[in-house]
Structure formats: structure tokens, C-alpha cells
Structure 1
Amino acid sequence: MVERFETCLKKYFPRGPKIEFIVSISLVILTLIMFSVKKTVIISVDGRETKAVTFSHTYGKVLASNGIKIGPRDKVTPSLDKKVEDKGRLIVKRAVEVEVAVDGKKLNIKSAEDNVGDFLKKENIKTSRLDKVYPSRDHAVEKGMKIVVTRVQIKNMKESRPIEYETVLKNDSKIEDGTRKLLQEGQNGEKETTTRIIYEDGKEVSRKIISEIVKREPVQKVVAVGTLADSTPSRGGSLNYAQSIKMKATAYTADYQSTGKRPGDSGFGITASGTVAKRSSGNYSSIAVDPRVIPLGTKLYVEGYGYAIAEDTGGAIKGNRVDLFFNSGSEAVNWGVKWVDVYVIG
């Protein structure tokens, strides 16, 4: 360019000292101007860098002069109309095609955004904090990638539900066996249930009860069940009883083998109730029981033994078991061990 300017001056102006001076001065001025507008720029296109020397004023012209075309969705930094700076850096990011599935549609869009979040914002695809985005919003945008946006909604549904009442049966020894009597009518309660339902793209995916508030307590239904029965014991006669229990019956006497005590020892022949142990064919005999099953003082009828009263206890008498008192060891041995019906009289 300087040589052409020099040739032009020599062509139209005759040679001479003054002219030579003017030409020299002009060349210096032109050179200074050229150096003032000459700039070096680093151009990066998708990470590939080249160095360019340019006299252009804007980055758009720099790209044009270097044969670099920019697509409508390519991203250029700084902008194309920005003034060129010496040793500046011009970054071009080519748009790549991605597929987006959102709101029941599949869209093919070219983008040069850095990550999925920026891409959605640029394309005006709005998402809430509940919506699912795959890949994640900070994932880099890549060629051919598939982005899926799943709309998520949460709804809390309140409804009233009944609390079913319970039916309680109470034994009543004053009512005949097999007879029932309503003592209290039952009534359902009421509770308010809040259920959280989660929808994805309009379809329910989960349902969970998150709270229950009792608005009204239920009232129990109470029914009396008769246990008073009429029975004929093995010895004959009629017997009214409140309860019948199948029990294992053993036998004992006041001797040392049964009680560990001998005549003259403290408490010999005395029951846990403080009475003298007795066997009476015409009255109530003493028997040992588990007080947790049959309270002491309870009158009984023991099948094959007769009337008895729970007056004594024993270390081995646990649960559904009774120990029957006899006056002699031979009688106890003859009884042995039997399963019998024990009738609770009162």
C-alpha cells in the first residue's frame, strides 16, 4: 500500500528536493496511520484458534475478511458490531442441533448456549423448581443430545373419613350363657385426611397420606355376653356356674413330701390363705391355684373331686393347673394327674 502511494506521487508530481521531502513526510504519516489501525486478533472457532492481522474496525468485518461465516444461531463474543481491540480475542461457538421433549412435543433446535439451563432460558422454555430436567440444568449442551423436561405438580387433597367404632364384649355372669345384651350403641368417629398427590406430565405417580386430624372420637359398642350356665356335675345335681375352665389337676397332702414341713413345724397344714387345709366330702375342700387365673377365695366345683375353695398356692401351680388337697398320701397317689373341668361358682 505504501509503495503504491509513493508511485502515485512520483507519477503526478515532478521530481525535486521539495517534492522528495513532501513524499517522505507523506510516507511517514501514512505508515503511522497504518500502524495505528493495524491490529492483531485471536480468532477461536469451537476451540480452534488462529491469529489474524486486520485493519478492520469491527469484529464482523474481521470474520468476513477471514472468510468465516456466522450462522443465525451461532454465538460470537464480543458482538459483531463491537470495535476491534488490539490483541483482542474473538470467540465463535457454532450452534449444534439438540432435541427437546417438553409439554407433549418434540422440538429440534439449534443452539450455541453453554449449558441446558441457559438453553431453556434462551428458548423461553420456562420451568418451575419442581420440574425435572434431564440432563441437569448445568450439563453442557452437546450435539445430538436429547433434553427431557417433565412437568411436576403437587396437590394436597383433604377429605373426611370415618373412624370405625370398636365392639367390646363383656362377660356377665348374671346373664344366661349364649345371651347377649346391648349396653351401649357404637358410633363412628370422623377424621380429616390430607393426601399429597404428585403428577408428572399430568399423570399421577404417587399418593401419600401426610396428615390425619381426628375431628370426632368414635364411641365403643358395648355388648354383655352371658356366662351363667346350667350344668349337671358328675356327682349329680344341678349347678349354676359363671365359667368353665379345662385344667390339669394334681393332688397333695400336708405331709413332708408335698409341703416340706413336718408336724410341729411352723405353718404345718396351713394354707396360703391362713386356713387349715381340709378335705370335706360334704363341704368345700381346700385346693391350690394360680391366683392370676383363679383368685383366692373363689368357690369352685372340680369334676370328680367335688366342691372346693381356692385357699392355697404352690410353686409349681402355674396357669391352668390346680392342686387338690387330700387327707392321706394314698388318696393323693390314687388321684394322680387328670385333666378335668373346673367350674367357677362365684
Structure 2
Amino acid sequence: MKQKARDLSNKYFPKGPVAVLVVILLFIGVTLGIATIKKTVSVVIDGKEQKIVTYRSDLKRILADNNIRIENKDKINVSLDSKVKDGDEINIKKAVNIKVSVDGKTLSVVTAENTVEDMLDNEGIKVKDEDRIEPSMDEKITKGMDVSITRVTSKVVKENKELDFTTVVKKDSNLEEGKKKVIQAGQKGEKVIATRVVYEDGKEISRRVVSESVTKKPVEQLVAVGTMGVVRPSRGSSSLNYNRVIKMKATAYTASEACTGKGSGDPYQGITATGTRARRNPSGYSTIAVDPRVIPLGTKVYVEGYGLAIAEDVGGAIKGNIIDVFLNSNAEANGWGVRWVNVYILK
């Protein structure tokens, strides 16, 4: 029995040089095994790299062994449950505290996003194209940053506005001077004004007219203004309408031969150039001599201080702005003399 045991010992545990060889092979195997599980990984935190030598494969344990904590909002490029290999690079971006002012509130936000836009998307804060964000959406997130969001809205407001009518004045020679008469009543028009009103956080900041459209055109008012003159010979008498008034020198004449050159035997004595008999009628129309180039024959006039008259006669000395009023006697003519009067050309 003892002999059999010795035979087995010799068979499986050789002695001498063979034993030494076995030990060397075992050592090499263990060394190779250790070398196989040893690894170097790069951990980059906020752009700063550190090399970690480890025999572990579990990322979470590797980070814990090196006092690297991953907070809730930190970003890491691989899962914490990942198995690492030699030469792997682990990128970690640490979250920072910022403030976001929006909708009347100031929010404390912890974020590891790269830009303002990424942060807003991640936090579920909706913004519209019209809203104003400061700093800009592409601004890089930094620790302690203040982000302000101003809600910008606008609406178009329409309002009706009256349009004043214009007044057109026309002269009317058939209407007494100073009097007015509405020929056509004016009517106001209407237009619709569209105004864009802009609000920031509910407060109005600007208004701008974007369109105007006339829905009803105004109707112009037509007014006649009298140009016909009115003269009242005396208080209580009827007024006389005239077209114009002329300042003229007035002399006086009679039917006597001294004035007309026709004696008492002349059948044309006292007959005017128009064939009428010269007359002085204080209560009606009397005769005056005129220059027909200034006052046409047959024209009815009112002579200041003389009365109503008709231009029926002419005279050799009556040229230009001169008239000769007819009187019944030389005494009256001498009493008239020469005077300046207003002569009203009647309608």
C-alpha cells in the first residue's frame, strides 16, 4: 500500500528540475492573469482629464474608489452600470446652479446642459419665436448665470374713426353779400384703422398702425356765399341789390339850352340819347348821363345822395368815371355842384 502512494506522488509531483519548471510556469500564469485584469481609463470632468489605474471593471465602483460622485443632474457619456475596458474614456459634465426668470417667477435650476436652448428644452420651459431670451439661446451655460425670458405677445386691434367732410364755398351773385346758403349738406365718412399692439409680460409697450381702409367716403358740403351787394337808400325803405359799386365824380345838368345846347323851340330839347325824356323823379327812377364804356346805357343804378336812376343820356364832358345827374332847375344843379359819390350798379 505504501508503495502505491509513493508511485502516485512521483507521478503527479515530480521532484528536482521538473518541480522548479512547474513553479516558474505557475508564476508566469498568475502574472499574466493579473496583467490581463489591470486597466487604465481616462476620466474627463468638465474638460479636465485624470488617468485611473484599476483592476475593476465596474464603472460605479471605479468612480467611488476615486471619490468621484455623480449627482442627479450631472451628465456622463456612458451608463454607471457599464463595464469598462482598458483605454476607455469617461466624460462627465458637472451640473451648475443657475436662475431662470419666467412668467413672474424666479426658478432655481441645476443643469449640465451646454446651451440656454438645451437647458430650456430639458427643463420643459416652452418659448415662442416672439419671446425675448437673455442671454441668447446659443449662449453657453455658466455657473451662476441669470436667464431672463420675456413673454412677447401681440394682437391687432381695429377701431372705427370718423372722417370729416370738406366744405366747398362757391360764390353766388344771386345771393346777398354776406349771406350763406347750404346747397348740399356734408356727410361724415368712416374708416377702419388696424393697429398692432405689442405686450411684454402682459404690459403694453408699443402700438403701430398696420392698415387703414375707408369704409364710407365723406360727402363734401357745398355752401353758396352771396356776392350780390345790398344797399338801403334810407331807413325803412326796401333794400336794393347790386353787382358792383363804383366811386365816381358826379355833376348835375338840366334841360336848359345852357346845358344841352337846345332851346325851347327845339323838338329834341329834354330828349335823352336813348330817346326818353329826361326826368327827375325822387320817388322813382331819374335820368343820368354816363360814359357808356363805363356804365352801359339802360343800366339801372343807385346814386348816393341822388337816388334811383337809369343811364339814359350821354354828354361831351362825361368821360370815364363821371356821371351827370338830371335836375329840374339850374338852382338845384348849382346846389348839387361837383361831388364824389358811390354809384351802385343794380341787378
**Shorter-normalised TM range:** 0.5 to 0.7
CA contact (8 A) 2:175 2:227 kept: yes
Give the drift of 1:54.
2.2
For structure 1, which runs of at least 5 residues remain unmatched after alignment?
A: 1-12, 233-237, 245-280, 286-324, 326-342
Residues 87-118 of structure 1, C-alpha deviation per residue, up to 9 Å, x if partnerless?
22222222221111111111122222111111
Counterpart of 1:284 (choices 290, 293, 305) is 293
Query: 1:109-120, aligned counterparts within 5 Å?
Result: 109-120=109-120
**Could you say what the CA RMSD is over the residues aligned between the two structures, in angstroms?**
3.4
Offset of residue 168 of structure 1: 2.0
Q: CA deviation at 1:221?
A: 1.6
Q: How does 1:1-346 map to 2 (within 5 A)?
A: 23-230=23-230, 240-241=242-243, 282-284=291-293
- Does the 8 A contact of 1:96 with 1:110 survive in 2? yes
**Matched-pair contact (CA < 8 Å) for 2:176–2:241:** no
Alignment identity in percent? 40
User: Contact between 1:173 and 1:242, CA under 8 Å: does it hold in 2?
Assistant: no
Take 1:194 and 1:15, find their aligned partners in 2: how far apart are those partners? 110
Report Cα offsets for 1:146-204 as digits up to 9, x if no partner: 11011111111233332222222222222111111111122222222221111111111
Structure 2 regions of 5+ residues with no counterpart? 1-12, 233-239, 247-289, 295-319, 321-343
Deviates more, 1:46-55 or 1:133-142: 46-55
Q: Distance in 2 between matches of 1:75 and 1:227?
A: 95
TM-score (norm 1): 0.60
Cα distance in structure 1, aligned partners of 2:183 and 2:127 = 62
Question: Max radius of gyration: which structure?
Answer: 2
Report the Cα distance in structure 2 between the residues aligned to 1:243 and 1:73, rounded to whole angstroms.
103
Instruction: Check the 8 A contact 1:41/1:89 in 2, yes or no.
Output: yes
| Contact persistence 1:169–1:225 (CA under 8 A) | yes
User: CA shift at 1:80, angstroms?
Assistant: 2.3
Instruction: State the SS of the aligned residue for 2:60.
Output: helix
Q: CA deviation at 1:37?
A: 3.3
- Contact 2:170/2:223 (CA < 8 Å) preserved in 1? yes
Q: TM-score, normalised by structure 2?
A: 0.60
CA-to-partner distance for each residue in 1:115-156, whole Å, 9 max, x for gaps? 111111111111111111101111111122211011111111
Partner letter of residue 219 of structure 1? Answer: V
Aligned pair count?
A: 240
Deviations 1:252-298, CA, capped at 9 Å, x for gaps: xxxxxxxxxxxxxxxxxxxxxxxxxxxxx82436xxxxxxxxxxxxx
Question: Secondary structure at 1:62's aligned position in 2?
Answer: helix
Question: What is the SS of the residue equivalent to 2:186?
Answer: coil
